[in-house]
Amino acid sequence: AIGPVNLLAIQELAELEEREHFLSTQFHDITNAKQSLQEAIRKINAQSRKMFQETFDKVRANFQILFRKLFGGGKADIILEEDKDILEAGVEVIARPPGKEPRSISLLSGGEKVLTAVALLFAIFQAKPSPFSQSPAANSPGPSRTRFSSSRVPPVAGRLTASKPSPHEMVKWRLTPSR
């Protein structure tokens, strides 16, 4: 004796085959989407590496020139961390004002650190100009305004305006073009 026959077995088989076909199609769609995304990421990373390297080279050249102008000599450089992907590498800032040979940027005086940072900031803006956001405090008249301008800084640097912050605010900066 064979035993009882499941009359719904053929219908259940058809449902399972339909489900297997649906899941198989979904798997192939997801696999294709994954490959497409990986290819897009590869293209974006390649383009990002190229653009970053071009911008980094411009910023590096500008920084070296601006540092020498602000300090009246000396040497400065920015270097990417070696043996790392350019998109994940750190950047080392080297600054040697005239007559000094510091081993670390932390050995510079506060003013030298600030001028180095200003040179780097302006070098970045020369390579990739972008507008500063203007804040009401920086635009308002009053004794709390401080101006930075120097004949040694190229015209692209313009005039940098800082508002003296109240204790709960950060410093607000504004860069206006030189005329």
Give per-residue pLDDT as tens, 129-155.
Answer: 766 544 445 445 554 444 444 444 555
Distance of CA 99 to the CA centre of its chain: 33
User: Rounded distance, CA 152 to CA 2, Å?
Assistant: 101
Share of the chain above pLDDT 70, in %: 71
> Angle at Cα 82 formed by Cα 81 and Cα 84, nearest 5°?
85
CA atoms lying within 13 Å on the CB side of residue 16: 6
Task: Output the pTM of the full model.
Answer: 0.60
pLDDT at 168 over 60: no
pLDDT score for 6: 82
Give per-residue pLDDT as tens, 64-115.
Answer: 999 999 888 889 999 988 888 888 888 888 898 888 887 677 888 888 889 9
Q: Cβ atoms within 10 A of the Cβ of 175, count?
A: 21
User: Rounded distance, CA 58 to CA 125, Å?
Assistant: 10
Token reading at 149: 């301008």
Identify residue 176 by its one-letter amino acid code: T
> Angle at Cα 24 formed by Cα 20 and Cα 29, nearest 5°?
150
| 1: confidence class by pLDDT, cuts 50, 70, 90 | low
Token reading at 122: 């302006």
| 127: confidence class by pLDDT, cuts 50, 70, 90 | confident
